[in-house]
Structure 1
Amino acid sequence: MLAGNFYSVPPGLPGARVGVIHRLGEDTVSIATASRAVIARHRLAPRGAGQTVSDRAPCKSKVRRPPSEAALAEAERLREQRATGSTAERVVIDLSHYAAVADRLRHVPPPEEEENEE
């Protein structure tokens, strides 16, 4: 992150320690490894813009689209269900069977000690 903006690195390097190099008067920023090998170069975004700058176009399969009519109808149905008490709120789980098993396991007699034959 530099001046409130994020700059991408090549795949396989997220989380790696890198340096950011910006020379006064230039409109680019370079991302370099610890050995100062430049691995990415980007245009400098305006200070504090909160932009994420990448050298590649966004993935076409992840284009943000507005929700469909069916999705909006399902969201409304879920909101109404939550307001009237969802199925999960009406489910009662009876743990008496588990308690009985746990109680029996607590009272299991210890195994008989084997006699040592010497």
Structure 2
Amino acid sequence: MALLLTALGEQARARDDYDGPIRATQATKVHTAPSPKSKSPASNWTDKNVQDWLKKEKLDDLCDKLDGLDGSHLEEMYLEYSSDANKFKDEIRSDYQMNGKVGPKFTVALKTLFQK
């Protein structure tokens, strides 16, 4: 933690808006990264929004397989993809039976949705 605070302090001193040393209390209150949940409006989608998105992306075959999933579920899938793409691919094949071209097409649509 001390090394992190030192590194953050060095970064802060290089900025024009430097307002003093970073202390642990400041780091937890002021210098926190934005939540990944604020990344995309899709995070707040209902399950109906997800179904509409699947149809728009021409992934109608997945409507039954992903029935009941909302935007927060899609976001979790995207975060899992971001952290370990191979594990994600294995899971969508086994958990949602996304075989053939459907898995990669879904992955591209998911990335596009959350990387806006």
TM-score range, shorter chain: under 0.3
Given the two structures, how large is their TM-score scaled by the length of structure 2? Answer: 0.20
Q: Which has the larger radius of gyration?
A: 1
Given the two structures, how large is their TM-score scaled by the length of structure 1? Answer: 0.20
Q: Which has the higher helix share?
A: 2
Where relative contact order (Cα < 8 A, 6+ residues apart) is larger, the structure is 2
